[in-house]
Structure 1
Amino acid sequence: MYDFEPPSANTKLRVGLVGTGYAAKHRAEALVNAARVNLVAIAGHTPEKTTALAQEYSTQAIDSWQDLVQRQDIDLVIISTINRDHGKITRAALNNGKHVIVEYPLSVDFQEAEELVALAKTQNKLLHIEHIELLGGLHQALKQQIAKVGDLFYVRYSTINPQHPAPRKWTYNHDQFGFPLIGALSRLHRLTDLFGKVLTVNCHQRYWETESEYYQTCFCTAQFCFANGLLAQVVYGKGETLWQSERKFEVHGEKGGLIFDGDTGILVQAEESTPIEVGTRRGLFAKDTNMVLDHLFDGTPLYVTPEASLYTLKVADAAQRAAKTGLTIFLTE
């Protein structure tokens, strides 16, 4: 828990944004539409993109994130850049007395993430790790319907994204994206949020290479045995060597199943099958941003804690170790 002083109701929270990509643009849009904040500056990797985004939202472009986190006229830093840099930017921002919002993962290294959660408490600053998958229509529908299928025994979550050709960008870069289930941490965070603690992890993964730093295809499959006896399988793949797109979440229980295929959901039981309404995925970055502002100004609770995200990262780190060693990894408290 944090016990920092909330911003004055008569002053605006001064925000610096790191990044110029998809998430950063949604953050900027949310910030300029929020009455309680002032977007002071944007720092990005490419000067041309940084200048263009800053001009679009009538703010200042800064050459580097190092300069941004040291500015005295910034209270909150939002980190929406490549996964590899999340940890070091978060550390620098906290050490400079800033509140932090960072897109998942907090770090591609579990030990560093542990240190950062502890540092935020020491500095008495907010550290919020974005997990908008918990706010989306699929997750909300799952939580509303899951009791209807009885005692659970198996879950399968598959996201496969063919790309022909594969883009040469940071999401296909070993170093910049990280291990697949760390870079795509939301796949596991859905599970830990719904089903709790994990006992054992098995994982296998493969890359199809095009050059040393970039790959053309990634495919990863993992199994998780939860403390409640549930067995979960996660499949994650992207790139040129995949041929059929899939976004499917299945929950199987003794009284029925929940099958979500894309944006379509169905409850399957012995007597009948019932369609499930799945809400939109639109506007979630704005919702996350506004919830953080409500928390800072009014003390309202957030939908996710740093500790919850850190635990999921621990599970993802176990999957990485399982993939490297070929061994079953046992998780302890």
Structure 2
Amino acid sequence: MRVAVVGAGGWGEHHARIFVRREDTELCAIVGRTPEKTRRRAEKYGATPYTDLDLMLERERPGLVTVCLPNEDHYDLTLELVRTGVPLLVEKPLVFDLTEADTLLSEAGDTFFAINFNHRYAEPVQRAKALIDAGELGELVFATWRFGGEANHGNSPHANLIETQCHGFDLLEHLVGPISALSAHMTDKTYGAFSTVALALDFENRAVGTMLGSYDSSYAYPDTQRVEINGTRGRLVIHDTVRALTFSKAGDPVEQRWHSTYFDDESRSFAGTFDRHVDAVLRALRAGERPPVHARAGRRALALAHAAIESHATGRTVRSIPWTGPTRS
């Protein structure tokens, strides 16, 4: 399958790395905004550089286009691409504006339109999902998400909430179930944006939860990303997405722990979660199936973020945050 990557930035290099190394894909093109930077990236991976998207599509005719642009610059180019009908895999966040999200989904129709919520593909997360689905935790009662690191400054005062904590919204709903209500506290004390947020959650299954997300912390801290899910029969903790999973049964002081083995470098790599997602994306695309994580999941995370913004602005809990789309991803 011929694949074109739109974006020549840092995470965009992982897009190029994945498709040039696979035996079942050919990285045919890199599209960027800066000619020299785009040329260097394309030369590094043996692809053709383009600064004209339409010209690339005409000449290369890719079977899949992946998009990795600056977080607040997703809409215009993604809209142009969905109108061509080419299968897409886009980076999170989908966009910052709900109207724009709805336009993208409406224009895409039944076109293959995937979003990269790669945390779902971490080994600890997949093992956690299996434990929950097998009933090992019993009835889920509460869940917590914490994710904090250095600032990624942007134009939006809610950049942290929309572009980074979207992973938290998606993963908690993936593991626990739909969020039915939330209330929010936020602070802009450090540099003017709402760089740290604390949310209280209700789930449809009557569990409760919390989210703490920050751009005023450091990725150097141990457990800067931590997910805890507690049920009537047990508790699990995901440490730093890929580092470890611990599981304890209620009343048992002996803890079970998964960690990557000596030779298993792949499962301890955060970038490797994207490789795993691409495996699933290509299987679905070749089989004519819907994406494993449809772009509608990006719209859902954005809706939850906007509910948090509304809650903070009004000082009230926001309830009834409906899922939009024919099926949940």
TM range (shorter): 0.7 to 0.9
1:1-333 to structure 2, matched below 5 A, reads 13-65=1-53, 68=56, 73-121=61-109, 124-146=110-132, 147-161=135-149, 163=150, 171-175=152-156, 179-184=159-164, 185-208=166-189, 210=191, 218-239=195-216, 246-262=224-240, 263-268=243-248, 269-278=250-259, 280-282=267-269, 283-299=272-288, 302-333=291-322
Q: Match of 1:277, as an amino acid? A: W
Q: Tell me if the contact between 2:128 and 2:245 (Cα under 8 Å) persists in the aligned partners.
A: no
* Preserved CA contact (<8 Å) 2:303 2:321: no
Is this contact kept in 1: 2:148–2:217, CA < 8 A? no
CA change 1:322–1:178 in 2 (3 A) is same
1:114 and 1:310 in contact (8 A); partners too: yes
Deviation at 1:237, TM superposition (A): 0.9
Give ranges in structure 2 of 5+ residues lacking alignment. Answer: 261-266, 323-329
The alpha carbon displacement at 1:259 in A equals 2.6
**Whole-Å Cα distance in 2 between the matches of residues 66 and 192 of structure 1?**
37
Q: Give the Cα–Cα distance (whole angstroms) in 2 for the partners of residues 313 and 287 of structure 1.
A: 24
TM-score (structure 1 length as normaliser): 0.81
What letter matches 1:112 in structure 2? E
Aligned-residue identity in percent: 23
CA distance in 1, matches of 2:268, 2:77: 28
Amino acid at match of 1:239: D
Q: Quick one: structure 1 residues 275 and 100, their matched pair in 2 at CA, closer, same or farther if it must change by over 3 Å?
A: same
Change (3 A) 1:86 1:69: farther
Closer, same or farther: CA 261–73 of 1 in aligned 2, 3 Å: closer
Q: Cα distance, 1:66 vs. partner?
A: 6.4
Change (3 A) 1:85 1:64: farther
Q: TM-score, normalised by structure 2?
A: 0.82
| 1:65-122 CA-partner distances (Å, limit 9, x unpaired) | 565566663443211111212222211001123221101221111222122122211x
Answer yes or no: is the 8 Å Cα contact 1:137–1:278 preserved in 2: no
Deviation at 1:134, TM superposition (A): 0.9
Q: Which amino acid aligns with 2:279?
A: N
Shift of 1:288: 2.2
- Matched pairs, number: 307
Q: Distance in 1 between matches of 2:20 and 2:124?
A: 28
CA RMSD between the two structures: 2.8
Rate the CA distance shift 1:294–1:144 in 2: closer, same or farther, 3 A: closer
Segments of structure 1 that go 5 or more residues without pairing to the other structure are: 1-12
Closer/same/farther in 2, CA of residues 235 and 25 from structure 1, 3 Å limit: same
